[in-house]
């Protein structure tokens, strides 16, 4: 239905955007026919290099080996801060909007330079040097950005851990990357509630003897635990540092950061990105996809704990000398009008958020939107999961008053930057489609045997040529990187997503084809939630699947088998939910727990998730072949006792 509802490029963008349809086609063609020439030009245009590279691209996708601009030297913090001082020292770099609507702060590029330099010096004083890992566990406050950029200045590798993760999840990530320094705050503030970050960090650090320094930003002034020698107050120590901090000149292929993300098996993987290629593609996409213009105020509502926060709050916009808004709170506090009030208050031109937020705000009713002006808005964006056409149309019509094109950007932690996306001056929009590939990106659809599907059709989405902001490795385990992304279809990067391509070559992401959930745009492995559930002594087995959820996109549906003699109860249900929160974080709370005396298994003992997904989705007349099950009666029992949603 809505597939045929095409929104053409608005005249305003046709006339002024950097790239129109013709230019997109020409540039795209050039980018795939002469990738080295194309990317060399872009790298020259977007970044400032201490020394030019020896080779543009070197890659062997069969081995998961990718390198861009090797031999080239640059410093990412210099690109994001210092080089703007001549032109825009007094321009606002970061607008910080607090959780409390009466709190905000403007940080100019000059101030950003001072803050990053001082923190860089403090980290250096504590022994941090090139290649060291620094963990950042922070609320959405400017210090989170200072911390990322200060690491980049020294050539230290940051690992940002989302502030919503539990002490256990933090501990695993600190240990996996062997971080010796942790930067955190006493507490975070979101939606009027305080989050005990330092106390969480203390619990994690108890099991991380390698952490010798913990810098603590005072956000609320709450009482926190303290270990002399290890813990130091950020403000106190930063204040006495010099404003000059010599940047480390890094190879383009030196690591910039590690960011953990969930896969279908095992513990989260530390996705590693490097300096040159990552910064180039995040800057370039920020410029072209959002048609960033001098003076624009740009707001991405993500958290810096996710890749969207890395590429589109911090690195992309700051590399382009933009004004980036950083929001501490949530879209529904104090009420569902908050985002639009912030848009009016700071005259935001570009607004980039996730479908789950759009659906929640749509559910709250139009009046929260229409009571605000939003005249400053020029362009809207969405990311994180497929957007249903109804939510797309509401976003377009009510929020953007049919004036602002919507950029539906498909990409992943592993891709570092946008991969499938419209360009506002070039691409006619179809609600629900991430449209066409960005420059240099060569998507293909593969059938299950690995053959490329030509023309319109559906299949497994893979990428057949390297791109600059591609994952370089899984930290400490390159074999896992190969196994996860490059073994299924040798010679291709496999995304884990399924997609359809229509007659116009537009891509429609249909969701994950593996055991990865996407809950409110947060990626989570079913295996992670299952491991948490089976920690409970009364649980013998657990199987977790996703099911369609109106707001979250997917909800978490857990089938739990208890040990012999144990009885289900509401108290036990609560204990299991608490266990998931404790092991992973609040985002991993099962929405539904169904007590399952048995799980559908093949004769070889493999759980048939396909059937569990159907039962969870209430698609009962279409269960498929159950004849290979060891005990088909199990399925009838699960259907009879299906949890009410
Ligand atoms: C940036 C980010 C990646 C997974 C990805 C896909 C889903 C992201 C999407 C989308 C449809 C979009 N996804 N953007 N699906 N349309 N515009 O979200 O990274 O957290 O690693 O998640 O999210 O399934 O594979 P990450």
- ipTM for the complex? 1.00
For tokens 């490097």, the residue is 274
For tokens 């501990």, the residue is 171
pLDDT the model gives residue 644: 61
User: Can you give the pTM of this predicted structure?
Assistant: 0.94
Residues 589 and 456 occupy one common structural domain: no
Which parts are annotated binding residues?
190-193, 308, 384-386, 408-413, 497, 512, 520, 523, 534, 536, 539
Total domains, the chain: 2
- Gap from CA of 383 to ligand 1 centroid (Å): 6
pLDDT the model gives residue 1: 39
Residues 580 and 469 occupy one common structural domain: no
At a CB cut-off of 8 Å and minimum separation 6, what does 212 contact? 126, 127, 180, 181, 230
pLDDT the model gives residue 559: 97
Q: Is the dihedral of CA 415, 420, 424, 429 positive or negative?
A: negative
553 lines ligand 1 (CB under 6 A): no
- Atom 4 in ligand 1: which residue has the minimum CA distance? 412
pLDDT the model gives residue 266: 79
433 lines ligand 1 (CB under 6 A): no
pLDDT the model gives residue 495: 98
Whether residue 600 is contained in a domain is answered as yes
- Gap from CA of 498 to ligand 1 centroid (Å): 11
Residues 381 and 280 occupy one common structural domain: yes
Residues 458 and 603 occupy one common structural domain: no
432 lines ligand 1 (CB under 6 A): no
Task: Report the nearest atom of ligand 1 relative to the CA of 414.
Answer: 21
Tokens linked to 565:
């003699």
Residues 423 and 546 occupy one common structural domain: no
Question: 438, 468, 500 — which closes off a domain?
Answer: 500
Whether residue 513 is contained in a domain is answered as no
Cβ atoms 303, 162 nearer than 8 A: yes
Residues 555 and 487 occupy one common structural domain: no
Whether residue 506 is contained in a domain is answered as no
Alpha-carbon distance of 283 to 134, in angstroms, equals 24
pLDDT the model gives residue 27: 98
Residues 407 and 305 occupy one common structural domain: yes
Residues 119 and 166 occupy one common structural domain: yes
Residues 492 and 619 occupy one common structural domain: no
Whether residue 2 is contained in a domain is answered as no
Whether residue 231 is contained in a domain is answered as yes
Alpha-carbon distance of 137 to 456, in angstroms, equals 44
Kindly report the CATH number assigned to the domain that includes residue 88. 3.40.50.12780
Kindly report the CATH number assigned to the domain that includes residue 574. 3.30.300.30
- Gap from CA of 384 to ligand 1 centroid (Å): 4
Side-chain half-sphere of 399: how many Cα atoms within 13 Å?
33
Whether residue 486 is contained in a domain is answered as yes
Question: 500, 532, 564 — which closes off a domain?
Answer: 500
Query: Which residues make beta-bridge pairs with 297?
Result: 323
pLDDT the model gives residue 624: 81
CA 50 to chain centre: 30
pLDDT the model gives residue 227: 98
Whether residue 395 is contained in a domain is answered as yes
Q: Which of 384, 434, 522 to mutate to test the pocket of ligand 1 (most atoms within 8 A of CB)?
A: 384
Residues 243 and 147 occupy one common structural domain: yes
Residues 570 and 630 occupy one common structural domain: yes
Question: 435, 469, 500 — which closes off a domain?
Answer: 500
Consecutive 10-residue averages of pLDDT for the chain (645 residues): 76 90 98 98 98 98 98 99 98 98 98 98 98 98 99 98 96 98 98 98 98 98 98 98 98 98 88 98 98 97 97 98 98 97 98 95 96 98 94 97 98 98 98 98 97 97 98 98 97 97 97 92 92 94 94 96 94 97 95 94 82 93 81 90 72
Structural domain including 619 reads: 520-641
Whether residue 44 is contained in a domain is answered as yes
Residues 490 and 613 occupy one common structural domain: no
Angle at 28 between CA 496 and CA 435, to 5 degrees: 50
- Atom 22 in ligand 1: which residue has the minimum CA distance? 412
Categorise residue 384: left if φ over 0, alpha if ψ from -120 to 50, beta otherwise. Answer: left
314 lines ligand 1 (CB under 6 A): no
């Amino acid at each position: 239905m809505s597939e045929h509802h095409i929104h053409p490029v608005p005249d305003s963008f046709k006339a002024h955007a950097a790239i129109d349809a013709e230019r997109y086609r020409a540039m795209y063609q050039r980018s795939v026919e002469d990738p080295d020439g194309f990317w060399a030009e872009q790298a020259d245009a977007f970044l400032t290099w201490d020394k030019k590279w020896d080779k543009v691209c070197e890659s062997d996708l069969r081995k998961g080996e990718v390198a861009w601009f090797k031999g080239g030297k640059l410093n990412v913090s210099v690109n994001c801060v210092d080089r703007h001082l001549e032109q825009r020292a007094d321009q606002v770099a970061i607008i910080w909007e607090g959780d409390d609507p009466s709190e905000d702060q403007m940080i100019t590029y000059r101030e950003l330079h001072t803050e990053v330099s001082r923190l860089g010096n403090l980290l250096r004083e504590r022994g941090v040097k090139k290649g060291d890992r620094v963990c950042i566990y922070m609320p959405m406050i400017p210090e989170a950005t200072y911390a990322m950029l200060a690491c980049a200045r020294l050539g230290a590798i940051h690992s940002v851990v989302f502030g919503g993760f539990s002490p256990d999840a933090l501990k695993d990530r600190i240990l996996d990357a062997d971080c010796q320094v942790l930067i955190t705050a006493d507490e975070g503030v979101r939606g009027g509630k305080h989050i005990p970050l330092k106390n969480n960090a203390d619990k994690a650090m108890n099991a991380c003897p390698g952490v010798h320094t913990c810098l603590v930003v005072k956000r609320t002034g709450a009482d926190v635990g303290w270990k002399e020698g290890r813990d130091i107050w950020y403000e106190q120590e930063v204040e006495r540092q010099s404003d000059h901090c010599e940047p480390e000149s890094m190879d383009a292929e030196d690591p910039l950061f590690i960011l953990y993300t969930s896969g279908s098996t095992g513990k989260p993987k530390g996705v590693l990105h490097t300096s040159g290629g990552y910064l180039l593609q995040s800057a370039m996409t920020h410029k072209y996809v959002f048609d960033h213009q001098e003076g624009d105020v740009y707001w991405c509502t993500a958290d810096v704990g996710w890749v969207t926060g890395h590429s589109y709050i911090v690195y992309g916009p700051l590399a382009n000398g933009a004004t980036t808004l950083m929001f501490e709170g949530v879209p529904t506090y104090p009420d569902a009008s908050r985002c639009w009030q912030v848009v009016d208050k700071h005259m935001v031109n570009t607004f980039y958020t996730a479908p789950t937020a759009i659906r929640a705000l749509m559910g709250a009713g139009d009046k929260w939107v229409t009571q605000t002006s939003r005249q400053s808005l020029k362009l809207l964006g969405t990311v994180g999961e497929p957007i249903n056409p109804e939510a797309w149309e509401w976003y377009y019509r009510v929020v953007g008053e049919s004036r602002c094109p919507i950029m539906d950007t498909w990409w992943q932690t592993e891709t570092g930057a946008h991969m499938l996306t419209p360009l506002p001056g070039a691409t006619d929009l179809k609600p629900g489609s991430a449209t066409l590939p960005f420059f240099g990106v060569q998507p293909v659809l593969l059938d299950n045997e690995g053959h490329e599907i030509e023309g319109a059709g559906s299949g497994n989405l893979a990428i057949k040529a390297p791109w600059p902001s591609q994952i370089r490795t899984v930290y400490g385990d390159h074999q896992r990187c190969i196994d996860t992304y490059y073994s299924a279809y040798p010679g291709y990067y496999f995304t884990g997503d399924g997609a359809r391509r229509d007659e116009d070559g537009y891509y429609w992401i249909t969701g994950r084809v593996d055991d990865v959930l996407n809950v409110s745009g947060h990626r989570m492995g079913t295996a992670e939630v299952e491991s948490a559930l089976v920690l409970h002594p009364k649980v013998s087995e657990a199987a977790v699947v996703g099911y369609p959820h109106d707001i979250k996109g997917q909800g978490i549906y857990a089938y739990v088998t208890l040990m012999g003699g144990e009885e289900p109860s509401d108290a036990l249900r609560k204990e299991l939910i608490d266990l998931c929160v404790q092991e992973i974080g609040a985002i991993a709370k099962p929405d539904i727990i169904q007590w399952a005396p048995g799980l559908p298994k093949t004769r070889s003992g493999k759980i048939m998730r396909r059937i569990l997904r159907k039962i969870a989705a209430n698609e009962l007349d279409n269960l498929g072949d159950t004849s290979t099950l060891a005990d088909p009666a199990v399925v009838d029992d699960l259907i009879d006792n299906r949890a009410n949603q």
